[in-house]
Amino acid sequence: MGAMPSWNAVIVLVYVIGIGYNLLLHRNNATGHIAAGYVSLAVTPTIASYFYGIATGQKMILGQLWVKGNVTPQTIESLTFIILTIVLSSFLIIIPSGRKADNLDLWEIILFSFIWVTFLISTVLSYLPAEELTSLTSQAQFINVIWSYHNLWLLLPAFAILFAGFRRGN
């Protein structure tokens, strides 16, 4: 059997994928991904409770279909947040802005992508039960740093978007 990767390696991989995603696919939509994350954060508690009811057999889909699963509310919240963020971010492809002011410099794309990925990781960590979170923060230094500044990671994306808007005169 092979060795399991450390959580630090997983976090680095998530950063590489997130930053690479913004660089390769959505060069002009890095700020939109942050907005999608905020919308997902606001909507997740309401939608997750509905999905939890479906996943545990308490609610039926279209009055006829139900699922009986063994999932925790935190798992459903995390998955709902991630899926909503991905779906909302993917819709940015079909919204052409065409404005020159919307094009970000390379360093801005990397910075916004880093902030976006950290925001996502921090939010997913907030859905974990306290004992699992404590275990993860003791195992992985990167997770500990991200969680230690959780409130900063929730506020920083909004301030970064405002700063970029003022800097560009928008």
Q: 3-state class of 61 per DSSP?
A: strand
Q: At what angle do helices 106-126 and 150-168 cross, to 10 degrees?
A: 150
CB 30 within 8 A of CB 116: yes
pLDDT of residue 93: 58
pLDDT of residue 102: 54
pLDDT beneath 50: ranges in the chain: 1, 96, 98, 101
- Residue 117 CA to residue 94 CA, distance in Å, equals 22
How is the chain split into domains, by residue range? Answer: 7-92+100-168
In which residue are the tokens 């925790």 written? 72
pTM reported for the whole predicted model: 0.80
CB 160 within 8 A of CB 115: yes
- Residue 94 CA to residue 22 CA, distance in Å, equals 15
- Residue 117 CA to residue 30 CA, distance in Å, equals 11
Which tokens in the block code for residue 138?
């003791």
